[in-house]
């Protein structure tokens, strides 16, 4: 069974799935800007509505919300959203990478306690009992690493997360920073004993070196091109490059271990980001429809079949959880 925010479902009930999105997200610290950036439920719903209605129009039935605990994950609100729009949402338990996460809490506690044990206890309870007093159970474990390294702080979460994944058979999804550490994450998690079929290494579409992908696949894990539409910012590749590499990996026989998504934030928590015309132009294709409007047509032009695309969006998410 899969824990969704509205209750357990069978893997066969997932349907077409976006494997890494954010219903809402806030960089740690947004909680301190509530005087001006106070959360407004109705405004959040208004922003979320067109994106989810568009996703449903494209046949999407399920979304994995990859928001870490300290980045605004709100299990009760996710349940409201799922019920409002009739879409299945799977939420995460886990924390963000050291450079942009809310690190002070566990760093402080590490002077007094074994934080691996504390993280293990927290994740176990969120998966098996529920998040806080919401009754909503997490359905995936979210882990993240820094650019070019896995810090000691991050290793604590990987160690605890691996133990929880083994104990509960819950999938692990990851964040890699700036196209680095994919093979290292796969190596660490499999050495910790996690079933590689339950591991999806994220943001792999940020690195266009095919050898980087092959080195990650060597560990038997899955990989996700889950930032489709996010181009040029911070050296991000173009979608055309992602399409080409994704197609090459399918043709090399990895079609059953590939995933697609957007890493799109439907509602940003805190004060609104100023709208800059240049930025809007760069992000014009960054939305929940991009896979269906641009990525799939692009893949079809490379000779990838619709059956292979359906495998990525339908069969692969199901097999990640089965």
Q: Per-domain residue ranges for the chain?
A: 2-321
Give which of 176, 173, 168 is closest to 1, Cα–Cα. 168
DSSP helix/strand/coil, 161? helix
By DSSP bridging, strand 2-4 and strand 7-9 are antiparallel
Q: What is the pTM of this model?
A: 0.97
Q: Do the beta carbons of residue 264 and residue 287 sit within 8 Å?
A: yes
Q: Which helix (H) or strand (E) holds 91?
A: strand 88-94
| Strand-pair category, 199-201 with 16-25 | unpaired
How far, in Å, CA of 185 to CA of 191, rounded?
Answer: 10
Element (H, E) at 200: strand 199-201
CATH number of 2-321: 3.20.20.140
Q: Note the Cα 78 to chain centre separation in Å.
A: 15
Judge whether 23 and 76 are in contact, CB under 8 Å. Answer: no
pLDDT per residue, tens digit, the chain (322 aa), is: 999 999 999 999 999 999 999 999 999 999 999 999 999 999 999 999 999 999 999 999 999 999 999 999 999 999 999 999 999 999 999 999 999 999 999 999 999 999 999 999 999 999 999 999 999 999 999 999 999 999 999 999 999 999 999 999 999 999 999 999 999 999 999 999 999 999 999 999 999 999 999 999 999 999 999 999 999 887 899 999 999 999 999 999 999 999 999 999 999 999 998 888 888 888 899 999 999 999 999 999 999 999 999 999 999 999 999 9
């Amino acid at each position: 069974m899969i824990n969704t925010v509205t209750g357990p479902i069978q893997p066969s009930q997932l349907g077409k799935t976006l494997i890494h999105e954010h219903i809402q997200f806030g960089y740690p610290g947004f909680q301190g800007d509530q005087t001006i950036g106070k959360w407004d439920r109705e405004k959040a719903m208004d922003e979320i509505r067109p994106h989810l209605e568009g996703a449903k129009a494209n046949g999407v039935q399920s979304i994995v919300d990859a928001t870490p605990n300290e980045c605004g994950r709100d299990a009760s609100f996710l349940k409201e959203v799922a019920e409002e729009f009739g879409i299945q949402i799977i939420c995460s338990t886990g924390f963000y990478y050291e450079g942009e996460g809310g690190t002070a809490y566990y760093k402080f506690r590490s002077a007094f306690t074994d934080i691996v044990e504390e993280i293990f206890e927290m994740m176990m309870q969120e998966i098996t009992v529920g998040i806080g007093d919401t009754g909503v159970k997490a359905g995936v474990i979210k882990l993240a690493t820094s650019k070019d390294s896995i810090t000691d702080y991050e290793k604590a979460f990987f160690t605890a997360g691996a133990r929880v994944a083994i104990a509960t058979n819950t999938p692990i999804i990851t964040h890699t920073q700036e196209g680095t550490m994919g093979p290292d994450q796969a190596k660490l998690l499999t050495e910790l004993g996690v079933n590689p079929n339950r591991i999806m290494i994220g943001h792999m579409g940020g690195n266009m070196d095919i050898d980087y992908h092959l080195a990650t696949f060597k560990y038997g894990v899955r990989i996700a091109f889950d930032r489709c539409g996010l181009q040029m910012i911070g050296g991000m590749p173009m979608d055309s490059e992602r399409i080409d590499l994704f197609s090459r990996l399918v043709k090399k026989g990895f079609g059953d271990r590939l995933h697609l998504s957007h890493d799109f934030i439907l509602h940003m928590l805190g004060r609104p980001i100023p709208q800059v015309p240049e930025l809007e132009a760069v992000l014009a294709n960054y939305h929940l429809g991009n896979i269906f409007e641009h990525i799939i047509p692009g893949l079809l032009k490379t000779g990838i079949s619709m059956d292979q695309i359906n495998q990525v969006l339908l069969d692969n998410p199901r097999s990640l959880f089965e």
